[in-house]
A and B are shown apart, each in its own frame.
Chain A
């Protein structure tokens, strides 16, 4: 399954919510969709889920156009909106069963699909509970179950982790990893960028309806934050050698901005990983007793803050 967003544009009156964006990703991958509020993430996701129609452009789900064959495309997509399920007077089982019926599943096939989704999303213990009585985390699971009930190949999740407690977030992450293993193509938007870094293979950063960065996480990190920060910690009784170490580091050509922070030496290196190894070898040769030598990668949050300006349409 290949998802291709092609020159997508959406106008609401005079407001351009999505401005000619293009990106793509494949099945088995989790693609993060990042941007400030009002950037056009939800609109794009709603277009992919066939709820909105684009003003121009198209989205192809394995060649199926969402504008030409929305009914067929709808069968390929499972959408988890940012709002949790309504229909508070229905039980969890009834809710999932209703959507299985709505997707045209019949008889035993439906019963099997509903049971499988209930088990996968770990809601088997609350099947007879009314939706209004569920916690946010449980509602999110039910919402995910609803999106999965017809076994779609593409999953579009709009802020699924919003408002969840840490345990629920970890569980959601595990579920998403399992889904990626099952070869689902997942597009997920979230403001919790550290989590996205952990679960996503690729990312799109969008602002004012335009793409600022896109690619694999590594590519984006490399492009947007080419320098790596390295942290060195000497054995505690050698901390008096920190000023000397600082001086020596600054003399090395690959090192920039060396400084001491709470007993540790932080410096930035413009070289690649072999350059870092070389620095380490030199320091050991000069008999520094190094307790810790680690690189910190720039994460999505740093990149997000660098490339976006917080503007909305």
Chain B
């Protein structure tokens, strides 16, 4: 059934629409949870106390052009931001983490609820709670408008930004809760999450104050405001969707095709953001506008590289049954379905296209006659060397880790390959410098000297010739690693075949029971 038909059938059944069951369950649990009730009461007391404090203190002062509303509103934004950015993501995340920590986590997965509905349910619960806190705050904020100093468009704009930030933070909380970590690690991740939330909160409050100072109402009439606003919201939404798909993949059963939605999403994101960047380059006549896209996509794909090599080599029956039979479609599916080999090919392809296209555009625009602004020729060359070096090093680490895992640790879970791929660059960066430290030879000058194999050294070597040495080293290592992994890769590609029905043999003389 295509998307339109599905949408049509859903619209036809609108009377049957019901809330996501997970939302109902979570909200039922939230309303009787003492922490939610306590937080809401504390929040109201703080709002009330703050209003009272401002009103009482300002009664004794009389200033010309008094802007009491703006002062109280600033205090309210801090309180609301603190309560919603810190508490709600923490509450949603901790609840999910506890549920996943409990032994009978399967209970959620024996119904017909999909992992996507579960994650969406958890997110909607966080969004509803945010609305609850915002609604509780609304009368106080509307009151500030009567006290002068803040206009209603500013109030609504700030609240909208804050709401979107809290929604993003809730999704981050959900993702952290879904990570397959032990309890102590989860606590550690939770604590760092709280730290990040504080940073986000201070940034949001800063932004809110800036918006109040500059007057959002006046800016809203201009086109630039909406371009900036929609760009920020678009980037935030793309990040949100990435976290959302990651969370779904993390709670999906091991036999599911976890990689497919995530790789598809990243490919679509890559394509759309790349297209927009090229349009922007054409509009501004400046090829440097491609660099943010190339760097962000590069970082995402580098992270994806460590994830894909943690995939199982053997595909589950469920995945194998969905492999297309047509050779072209099967080759495409190889890139997007579970499996380390396909994942490596997918990352390599996207990275080559990203940096290849960026380098080509930068190089093309060096000719000033074309009327485009660009980096200098030396910078373009530096960009190409650095990008090639980083990519070669990372693939070399990843392939080496895969080889070590396959040859020496084949009985251990495949995620160990990902961990190894992180340990190798870490060890190569730390061990030589640690040795120099113990030999009392560690100086900044020594760190800046050539350290072949150390990815981070590529960024700090002084001489450009050393960058070429790095490129040579990384390229050689990569070629050796490719040669050693070639048979495995070919075997993986060849075994990527749809499951024949005959693979499940008919039951041998089934001793059927009472019938």
Contact = CB atoms under 8 A, between A and B. Distances in A.
A295 B125 CA distance: 64
Of B318, B513, B514, most A-chain CB atoms within 10 Å: B513
Interface in B481-515: 503-508, 510-515
A23 B512 CA distance: 6
B4 interface: no
B110 A74 contact: yes
Nearest to A218: B514
A71 B505 contact: no
B104 A83 contact: yes
A201 B317 CA distance: 33
Given A81-B107, A98-B24, A53 B507 contact: no
Interface string A1-35: 01011110000011000000011111001010000
Contacts of A4: 507, 510, 512
B16 interface: yes
Given A13-B411, A106-B18, A89 B513 contact: no
B511 A83 contact: no
A102 B318 contact: no
Contacts of B364: none
A81 B510 contact: no
B302 to A, nearest CB: 30
Give the secondary structure class of A's interface. mixed
A79 interface: yes
B508 A83 contact: no
Contact of A101 (B18, B102, B109): B18
B178 to A, nearest CB: 17
Given A6-B506, A74-B110, A202-B513, 17 more contacts: A29-B515, A49-B110, A51-B106, A52-B255, A53-B317, A56-B317, A67-B317, A67-B321, A86-B102, A102-B21, A102-B108, A103-B111, A201-B513, A201-B514, A202-B514, A203-B513, A215-B511
A253 interface: no
Contacts of B511: 22-24, 211, 214-215
A89 B29 contact: yes
A125 interface: no
A303 B512 CA distance: 19
A101 B507 contact: no
B363 interface: no
A57 B255 CA distance: 15
A203 B514 CA distance: 9
A101 B20 CA distance: 8
Contacts of A98: 21, 24-25
Contacts of A57: 504
Interface string A57-80: 110000000011011001100010
A31 B318 contact: no
A216 B514 contact: yes
Nearest to A86: B102
Contact of A7 (B24, B104, B508): B508
B112 interface: yes
A116 B113 CA distance: 22
Interface string B344-355: 000000000000
Nearest to A71: B112
B28 interface: yes
A166 interface: no
A26 B112 contact: no
B135 interface: no
A283 interface: no
A89 B99 CA distance: 12
A45 to B, nearest CB: 11
Contacts of B111: 74, 99, 102-103, 150
B230 interface: no
Interface in B81-114: 99, 102-104, 106-113
Interface in A94-127: 94, 98-99, 101-104, 106-107
Nearest to B512: A24
Given A53-B318, A98-B24, A79 B514 contact: no
A22 B510 contact: yes
18 contacts: A6-B507, A6-B510, A7-B504, A22-B511, A25-B513, A26-B515, A55-B317, A67-B318, A67-B504, A83-B103, A86-B99, A86-B104, A87-B29, A102-B111, A106-B16, A106-B18, A150-B111, A211-B511
A40 interface: no
B206 interface: no
Given A7-B507, A26-B515, A94-B25, A81 B106 contact: yes
Given A53-B317, A79-B110, A101-B24, A29 B514 contact: yes
A90 interface: yes
A201 B253 CA distance: 34
Nearest to B32: A89
Given A89-B29, A90-B25, A53 B253 contact: yes
Interface string A207-234: 0000100111000000000000000000
